[in-house]
Amino acid sequence: MSRFITISAIAASYFVFAILLNSVGTVILQSINSFDISKPQASTLEGFKDLSIAFVSFFVASVIPRIGYKIALAVGLAIVTIACFLTPVIGNFLVIKLLFACIGVSFALVKISVYSIIGQLTHSVKSHSSLLNTIEGIFMLGSLSGYWLFSFYIDGNSAESTQWMNVYYVLAVMSLLTLVLVSFSSISKAEQSLTSTSIFSDFVEMIKMSYQPLVLIFVISIFLYVLIEQGIGTWLPTFNSEVLGLPTNISVQMTSIFAAALALGRLLAGQILRYLNWYTFLNICLAGMALIILLLLPLTQDPTTGLVTSVFDAPAVAYLLPLIGLMMAPIYPVLNSVMLSSLARAKHSSMTGLIVVFSALGGTTGSIITGYSFEALGGQQAFYLSLIPMGLLVASLYFFKVATAKHSV
């Protein structure tokens, strides 16, 4: 029963943060309308979120095992609970920026803790990979739910209305309930090495870890994957609007298919990996991603669209292209699982800090590159360019497999 409560607690934490993190696109749009700010001003929200995640992960990861994963989870949830309650009360763009900074700080604490707790709950590569894929699948379900939760509070008749901010009262309650669930969970204290070390030496150890060949090829792989996922996922609404010619609201709704595909893919992967080797499986996924790009992008050159007033009027390619998420879905959690399973549990926290840092950097880089390519070359060419990091990821996967077979960090 205690194991079930613990898994439920980390799953609920991930679900809540999925909604908060993936709401940035919706909040940018609503902030432009409600607070009459420019697009460059609104785009800073992404930086407040990602830079907070990277900074806290890099400098705090080694401290978390000392304070305990349960306390770190509770602190992260408490921060976003308070921030969500205050956001609609104050109701300006400054508090929105502070909210996303709080979300970034809190998610870094939560992700490092969750990944380390999964290591405590599992005892083999397969069981670790299975549970991690399930938790990541729940994260994607939260992301999908967030689109519809926010849309319920948006006033379609008044673009300037700040009524949408009331959604944060709901999110505050969800965060508070999750905090209560965490308080009832039985999360073990982090394993410490026999030799007592300082927090500074733990930080130095994390830096040294990043120079080891196995870790280096791993973080390169993580960087490339997130670059691909965010490059496509972040710009899919714009692609739907400018390339497929869909209305803006329909373009955003169609993007939820991508989130649904990621969620389904990760949930299915948790079961498939019980029977299939991870390296073979990930190469199949990458081949599938490349085929979707090569086969479907030509169909977007001249999409046959009549009057589109709902998602049911959208062309077939608008439904098929987001299904690339099915192929993408398993790669990130499987890479993380294989890496963490190769480490002593005492090193999971520091390794997870590196994972979060390079994920944030990869996501930001992917979005920027795709954005510039989209403007300079057009949507189809920007998405075709994703084949380059896909090819690089195939190569890095091979070296990662070789490294994991030879070394145990």
What is the tens place of the pLDDT at every residue in 386-409? 999 999 999 999 998 988 887 654
Residues 181, 309 within the same domain:
no
Model confidence at 195, pLDDT cuts 50, 70, 90, reads very low
Model confidence at 341, pLDDT cuts 50, 70, 90, reads confident
Q: Which amino acid is at 231?
A: G
pLDDT digits (tens, 9 = 90+) for 59-118: 776 778 878 888 999 999 999 999 999 999 998 999 999 999 999 999 989 888 888 888
Residues 106, 169 within the same domain:
yes
Last residue of a domain, one of 173, 189, 205: 189
Residues 160, 257 within the same domain:
no
Q: Are 76 and 106 in contact (CB under 8 A)?
A: yes
Residues 224, 368 within the same domain:
yes
Model confidence at 201, pLDDT cuts 50, 70, 90, reads low
Rounded to the nearest 10°, the torsion over CA 331, 333, 335, 340 is 180
Query: Residues 269, 312, 28, 377: is their CA dihedral positive or negative?
Result: positive
- The top-scoring range by mean pLDDT among 141-150, 238-247, 339-348 is 141-150
Output the average pLDDT for the chain: 83
Q: How far apart are CA 301 and CA 294, in angstroms?
A: 12
Q: What is the CATH number of the domain that holds 322?
A: 1.20.1250.20
Q: Are 65 and 117 in contact (CB under 8 A)?
A: no
pLDDT digits (tens, 9 = 90+) for 355-386: 877 888 887 787 778 777 777 788 889 899 99
Residues 378, 279 within the same domain:
yes
Q: How many domains does the chain have?
A: 2
Q: How far is CA 338 from the centre of its chain?
A: 18
Last residue of a domain, one of 157, 189, 221: 189
Write down the residue that tokens 């077939």 correspond to: 316
Instruction: Assign residue 290 a region (left: φ > 0; alpha: ψ between -120 and 50; beta: otherwise).
Output: alpha
Residue 124 phi/psi, 5-degree rounding, is -155, 165
Burial grade of 245 (CB within 10 A; 0-12, 13-18, 19 or more): middle
Tallying the residues shown for the chain, one arrives at 409
- Which two tokens mark 201? 């030496």
Q: What is the pLDDT of residue 58?
A: 72
- The top-scoring range by mean pLDDT among 202-206, 286-290, 368-372 is 286-290
Q: What is the pLDDT of residue 96?
A: 94
Q: What is the pLDDT of residue 194?
A: 44
Q: What is the pLDDT of residue 80?
A: 96
Residues 35, 87 within the same domain:
yes
Of the listed ranges 183-187, 195-199, 236-240, 275-279, the least confidently predicted one is: 195-199
Q: Does residue 193 carry a pLDDT above 60? A: no
Rounded to the nearest 10°, the torsion over CA 151, 156, 159, 162 is -50
Q: Are 296 and 317 in contact (CB under 8 A)?
A: yes
Domain of residue 279, residue span: 197-409
Count of CB atoms situated within 10 Å of the CB of 1: 6
Residues 176, 210 within the same domain:
no
Q: How far apart are CA 2 and CA 94, in angstroms?
A: 41
Last residue of a domain, one of 189, 207, 239: 189
Work out the percent of the chain whose per-residue pLDDT is above 90. Answer: 29
Residues 149, 220 within the same domain:
no
Rounded to the nearest 10°, the torsion over CA 251, 333, 225, 214 is 170
Residues 207, 163 within the same domain:
no
Q: What is the pLDDT of residue 169?
A: 96
pLDDT digits (tens, 9 = 90+) for 43-55: 677 778 888 888 8
Residues 396, 260 within the same domain:
yes
Write down the residue that tokens 């902030």 correspond to: 31
Count of CB atoms situated within 10 Å of the CB of 174: 21
Residues 113, 201 within the same domain:
no
Residues 176, 300 within the same domain:
no
Model confidence at 136, pLDDT cuts 50, 70, 90, reads confident
Task: Provide the 3-class DSSP secondary structure of residue 314.
Answer: coil
Q: Does residue 150 carry a pLDDT above 50? A: yes
